């Protein structure tokens, strides 16, 4: 049994000595803001994903916001996304002036349903924002066909999907732009942080401008020692750039991305095996020829089968000093969206049910074997 002092924090990051040393080196060098380490982190991400432009930012929320502006979302434009996502996906659409439209998820994969997407397309639809939920790739070939057929833009929310692949192609390379998160609980962390990747040079240049006050593309050279340059503001931009201190962490996190993925795959398989004969509903098997990023291990608690409600389960896990997550209460459960758009959870019933039954178990690469068995015995204890 875990002691109080030994609370297992959900999504706690695996920080190694190289990250610590690199941050200390940045502090000693005195170069804290955007600089050479950001450039290196961008280059490393481009190499890892095989995409030719990267703009490091201070969050994935910022990345999604700028992506919406870059693809030209204007007031009244409709953007289709999933109701089973973090609120930032939807808020980014709203901040760009767009109208979010929710297409329900597939009940097994928990990813946006292609049929539902097509049913939601109108003459005002401009873009689709698929989320590779939990690290499982959406059906990218079918989404790409829809995008082509209706002349839409696609922005992939890759917050869970650094390692994700679909038929040999990396997640983030299917859309016009893709947004990544390096928030503390994600697979690669910088504390707070995000990035946009794109193969489109024009988008990349505009995004750099937008990310730094709207100062002309060249202004980023301000962060080098090439001598003084005037900056010229060419549009009203934002303050979304990443710091070198953040990139210092990210560089070494990314270097261990595969090692950590291997560990999470192991944990995933241990959970699958240990929980197979319980009344829980476990994550769907992976689709052939895809690579799952194993970001979230989501179990579903159907009270009629488990004898305990989801919320009671969360409380009891907490009492056993094990942190869990809920990904996510469906977007229409939140009052803001109900009031603004008149949405009801019942409108997207699959996402509603998942949101009310789901629990994410800890799957950080930092967990040791004892942690994993503590989680398993806590879970089986509660549902038996
Ligand atoms: C975490 C997350 C975001 C936001 O990422 P931040 O870096 O915290 O802004 C967006 N979308 C999804 C699906 C996420 O999980």
Whether residue 161 contacts residue 135, with contact meaning beta carbons closer than 8 Å, is answered with: yes
Pocket test for ligand 1, best of 131, 159, 253 (most atoms within 8 A of CB): 159
> In the chain, what are the domains?
17-255 (3.40.640.10), 257-383 (3.90.1150.10)
**What confidence score (pLDDT) does residue 229 get?**
74
Question: Could you give the CA distance from residue 70 to residue 62 in angstroms, rounded to a whole number?
Answer: 12
Could you tell me the distance, in angstroms and rounded to a whole number, from the CA of residue 53 to the centre of ligand 1?
20
Indicate if ligand 1 lies below 6 Å from the C-beta of 194: yes
Could you tell me the distance, in angstroms and rounded to a whole number, from the CA of residue 311 to the centre of ligand 1?
23
Render 263-299 in DSSP notation, one character per residue: HHHHHHHHHHHHHTTSSSBPPPPPPTTEE-----EEE
Judging by DSSP bridges, how do beta strands 165-166 and 169-170 pair with one another?
antiparallel
Q: Look up 186 and say whether it is catalytic.
A: yes
Could you tell me the distance, in angstroms and rounded to a whole number, from the CA of residue 86 to the centre of ligand 1?
6
Could you tell me the distance, in angstroms and rounded to a whole number, from the CA of residue 61 to the centre of ligand 1?
6
Question: Could you give the CA distance from residue 4 to residue 322 in angstroms, rounded to a whole number?
Answer: 10
Place of tokens 């979010």: 100
Indicate if ligand 1 lies below 6 Å from the C-beta of 331: no
Could you tell me the distance, in angstroms and rounded to a whole number, from the CA of residue 88 to the centre of ligand 1?
6
Q: What angle do CA 91, 93, 99 make, to 5 degrees?
A: 110
Indicate if ligand 1 lies below 6 Å from the C-beta of 156: no
Render 203-217 in DSSP notation, one character per residue: HHHHHHHHHBTTB-G
Quote the DSSP letter at residue 271. H
- The tokens for 29 are 């060098």
Backbone angles phi, psi at 21, to 5 degrees: -60, -40
Question: Could you give the CA distance from residue 159 to residue 186 in angstroms, rounded to a whole number?
Answer: 7
Indicate if ligand 1 lies below 6 Å from the C-beta of 328: no
| CA of 131, closest atom in ligand 1 | 13
**What confidence score (pLDDT) does residue 273 get?**
98
Q: What is the pTM of this model?
A: 0.97
Alpha-carbon torsion 305, 306, 307, 310, what sign? negative
Question: Could you give the CA distance from residue 238 to residue 131 in angstroms, rounded to a whole number?
Answer: 24
Which one from 186, 239, 320, 366 is the annotated catalytic residue? 186
Indicate if ligand 1 lies below 6 Å from the C-beta of 181: yes
Backbone angles phi, psi at 56, to 5 degrees: -80, 135
Peptide bond into 328 cis (omega under 30): yes
Q: What is the pLDDT along the chain (384 residues), one digit of tens a residue?
A: 787 789 999 999 999 999 999 999 999 999 999 999 999 999 999 999 999 999 999 999 999 999 999 999 999 999 999 999 999 999 999 999 999 999 999 999 999 999 999 999 999 999 999 999 999 999 999 999 999 999 999 999 999 999 999 999 999 999 999 999 999 999 999 999 999 999 999 999 999 999 999 998 666 566 666 677 788 999 999 999 999 999 999 999 999 999 999 999 999 999 999 999 999 999 999 999 999 999 999 999 999 999 999 999 999 999 999 999 999 999 999 999 999 999 999 999 999 999 999 999 999 999 999 999 999 999 999 998
Indicate if ligand 1 lies below 6 Å from the C-beta of 111: no
Pocket test for ligand 1, best of 10, 65, 89, 182 (most atoms within 8 A of CB): 89
**What confidence score (pLDDT) does residue 224 get?**
66
Indicate if ligand 1 lies below 6 Å from the C-beta of 360: no
Whether residue 139 contacts residue 147, with contact meaning beta carbons closer than 8 Å, is answered with: no
Indicate if ligand 1 lies below 6 Å from the C-beta of 198: no
Among the listed residues 363, 284, 278, the one whose alpha carbon sits nearest the alpha carbon of residue 322: 363
């Amino acid at each position: 049994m875990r002691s109080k002092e030994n609370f297992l924090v959900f999504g706690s990051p695996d920080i190694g000595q190289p990250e610590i040393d690199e941050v200390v080196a940045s502090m000693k060098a005195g170069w804290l803001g955007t600089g050479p380490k950001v450039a290196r982190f961008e280059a490393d991400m481009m190499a890892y994903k095989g995409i030719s432009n990267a703009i490091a930012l201070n969050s994935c929320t910022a990345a999604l916001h700028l992506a919406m502006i870059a693809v030209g979302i204007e007031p009244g434009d409709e953007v289709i996304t999933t109701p089973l996502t973090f609120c930032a996906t939807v808020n980014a659409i709203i901040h760009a002036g767009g109208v979010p439209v929710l297409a329900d998820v597939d009940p097994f994969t928990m990813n946006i349903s292609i049929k539902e997407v097509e049913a939601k397309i109108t003459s005002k639809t401009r873009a689709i924002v698929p989320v590779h939920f939990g690290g499982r790739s959406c059906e990218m070939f079918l989404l790409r066909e829809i995008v082509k057929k209706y002349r839409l833009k696609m922005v992939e929310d890759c917050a869970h999907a650094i390692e994700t692949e679909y038929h040999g192609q990396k997640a983030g390379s299917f859309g016009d732009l893709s947004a990544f998160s390096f928030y503390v609980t994600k697979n690669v962390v910088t504390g707070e942080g995000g990035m946009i990747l794109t193969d489109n040079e024009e988008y990349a240049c505009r995004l750099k401008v937008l990310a730094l006050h709207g100062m002309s593309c060249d202004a980023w050279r301000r962060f080098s020692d090439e001598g003084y340059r005037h900056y010229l503001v060419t549009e009203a931009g934002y303050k979304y750039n990443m710091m070198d201190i953040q990139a210092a962490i990210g560089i070494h996190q990314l270097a261990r991305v595969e090692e950590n993925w291997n560990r999470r795959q192991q944990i995933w398989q241990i959970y699958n095996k240990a929980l197979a004969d319980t009344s829980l509903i476990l994550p769907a098997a992976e689709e052939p020829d895809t690579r799952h990023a194993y970001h979230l291990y989501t179990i579903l608690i159907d009270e009629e089968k488990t004898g305990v409600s989801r919320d009671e389960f969360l409380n009891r896990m907490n009492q056993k000093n094990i942190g869990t997550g809920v990904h996510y209460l469906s977007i229409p459960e939140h009052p803001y969206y109900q009031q603004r758009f008149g949405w009801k959870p019942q409108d997207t019933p699959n996402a509603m049910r998942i949101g009310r039954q789901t629990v994410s178990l800890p799957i950080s690469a930092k967990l040791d074997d004892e942690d994993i068995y503590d989680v398993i015995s806590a879970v089986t204890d509660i549902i038996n």
